[in-house]
Amino acid sequence: MAASVPRATVRDVATATGVSIATVSRVLNGHPNVAAPTRDLVLQAVNDLGQRAPLPRATPASRTGPVFVRCPYVLTDYFGLVVSAVAEALELHGRSVLLDAGQRAASTHPLLGLASRADVAGAVLVLPPERSAELAALRRTGFPFVVVDPRTPPPPEVAAVSAAHAAGARRVTAHLLQLGHRRIGVIGGPREWSAAVERQAGHAAAMVHAGHMPPSELYRPIEPTTDQGRHAAGELLDLPDRPTALVCFNDKVAIGAMHAAAERGLRVPVDLSVTGFDDSDVARASTPQLTTVRQPLAEMGRIAVSLLVRLIALHTVDARHVELATELLVRGSTAPPSA
pLDDT digits (tens, 9 = 90+) for 253-265: 999 999 999 999 9
> Is 331 inside any structural domain?
no
pLDDT in tens, 102-135: 877 666 677 767 877 778 899 999 999 888 888 8
Residue 251's contacts (CB-CB under 8 Å, 6 or more residues apart) are 77, 276, 277, 278, 279, 280, 282, 283, 290, 292
Residue 29's contacts (CB-CB under 8 Å, 6 or more residues apart) are 56, 57, 58, 59, 62
For residue 99, give the nearest of 122, 71, 119 by alpha carbon: 71
Instruction: Give me the mean pLDDT over the 197-203 stretch.
Output: 96
For residue 64, what pLDDT is reported? 73
> Is 216 inside any structural domain?
yes
For residue 100, what pLDDT is reported? 87
Flag whether pLDDT at 52 surpasses 60: no
82 and 173 inside one domain = no
For residue 54, what pLDDT is reported? 45
Higher pLDDT, 140 or 302: 302
Task: Determine contact, residues 97/126, Cβ cutoff 8 Å.
Answer: no
Instruction: Give me the mean pLDDT over the 302-314 stretch.
Output: 91
Task: Determine contact, residues 13/42, Cβ cutoff 8 Å.
Answer: yes
> Is 58 inside any structural domain?
no
Burial class for 216, CB neighbours closer than 10 Å (0-12, 13-18, 19+): exposed
> Is 335 inside any structural domain?
no
For residue 169, give the nearest of 247, 107, 114, 222 by alpha carbon: 247
238 and 264 inside one domain = yes
Backbone angle region of 149, left / alpha / beta, with phi > 0 → left and psi within -120 to 50 → alpha: left
> Is 1 inside any structural domain?
no
- 44 lies in which domain range? 10-50
Q: Are strands 273-275 and 145-148 parallel, antiparallel or unpaired?
A: unpaired
101 and 214 inside one domain = no
CATH number at 153 reads: 3.40.50.2300
pLDDT in tens, 121-175: 999 999 998 888 888 888 888 889 999 999 888 888 899 999 999 999 999 999 9
Angle of the 36-48 helix axis to the 132-140 helix axis, nearest 10: 110
